[in-house]
Structure 1
Amino acid sequence: MAEGTFQLELVSPARLLLSRAVEMAVIPSAEGEMGVLPGHAPMIVALRGGVIRVRENGQETERLFVAGGFAEVTPTRCTVLADEATPVATLSRSAAEERLREAEAALAELPADSPPERREAAMARLLSARAMLESAEAA
């Protein structure tokens, strides 16, 4: 691994999407966008729906939509365990719109006395669908 880089691995349930040395990655943590550089403090963070941006050789080389998951960061590695991951260039606006409609309907259909964790999960699904649509429109 070259100096000034760290190992980035992006794993979805279907497959390993990316595994290589990069200069920087920006990940959509639950608290907001988070830049990861070599030597980063160790941590584990929850991810929200959004785009992972990868920088190599001083330029953005990759953009991948993740629907949520977790990331483990160490000084030499960032491992992203994504619920779902798709290159932004391959996102379909119509599929994102359908996912958003389904998420809105699922949230609207929840009974008022639903447990808070069910409402939170439905809201997270809705926010992820919105992020997917925004990413598809920007591609």
Structure 2
Amino acid sequence: MAEGFQFELVSPEQLLVSTEVSEVVVPGADGYFTVLANHAPTMSTLQPGVAEVKQTDGQADKYVVFGGFVDVTPEACTVLAESAVRVSDIDRSDLEQRIQDAREDLDDAKDDDSRSKAQAYLDQLTTLQGAILPA
């Protein structure tokens, strides 16, 4: 059995997960990375994506996270998400609304930096939509 560590996934609305896990994969700012027990201390911002959580009993869950931070210590991993939901609970209309809002933000962007950030966010959302929702 893999060594476990404490994992918490928190959004402003609620504590979604607080359990012992063997592995967590999170969408860090520079790409996805895996956290195992005794991981080196790390802190990163999150990009929109899917966090995969494998509990010590082998059960796995996936959560969509929209921004936030991840704090990793050798004993724990805490994800503080701007918004998070279990993949199985995804509301197609909510995701489509986020994509529509991102398109409007892109159209309203006033400078290259804002336009670039809005485009990156829209690209992440549409990639996420394709990855988790069947056509």
TM-score range for the pair, normalised by the shorter chain length: 0.7 to 0.9
Q: Does 1:137 align with 2:133?
A: yes
Distance in 1 between residues matched to 2:99 and 2:6, nearest whole Å: 33
1:22 Cα deviation (Å)? 0.4
Structure 2 residue identity aligned to 1:41 = A
Deviations 1:17-75 (A, max 9, x none): 11111000000111111100001000101110011111124635211100011101010
Q: Does the CA-based 8 Å contact 2:46-2:67 persist in structure 1?
A: yes
Output the CA distance in 2 between the equivalents of 1:22 and 1:83: 22
- Distance 1:6-1:57 versus aligned 2 partners, 3 A rule: closer
2:8 corresponds to which letter in structure 1? E
2:118 corresponding residue in structure 1: 122
Which residue number in structure 1 is paired with residue 93 of structure 2? 94
Equivalent residue runs for 1:10-25 within 5 Å: 10-25=9-24
Q: Residue 79 of structure 1 aligns with which residue?
A: 78
Aligned-CA RMSD value? 2.2
Measured in 2, the distance between the counterparts of 1:13 and 1:71 equals: 14
Give unmatched runs, 5+ long, in structure 1: none
Conserved? CA contact 2:38–2:73, under 8 Å? yes
Is residue 96–residue 132 contact of structure 1 (8 Å, CA) maintained in 2? no
Runs of 4+ in 1 over 4 A off after TM superposition: none
How many pairs are equivalent? 134
Q: Distance in 2 between matches of 1:131 and 1:13?
A: 24
What percentage of residue pairs aligned between the two structures are identical? 36
Q: Which runs of 5+ in 2 are unaligned?
A: none
| TM-superposed deviation, 1:121 | 4.3
Q: How has the CA–CA distance of structure 1 residues 131 and 19 changed in structure 2, closer, same or farther, with 3 Å as cutoff?
A: farther
Verify the 8 A CA contact 2:20 2:56 in the aligned structure 1: no
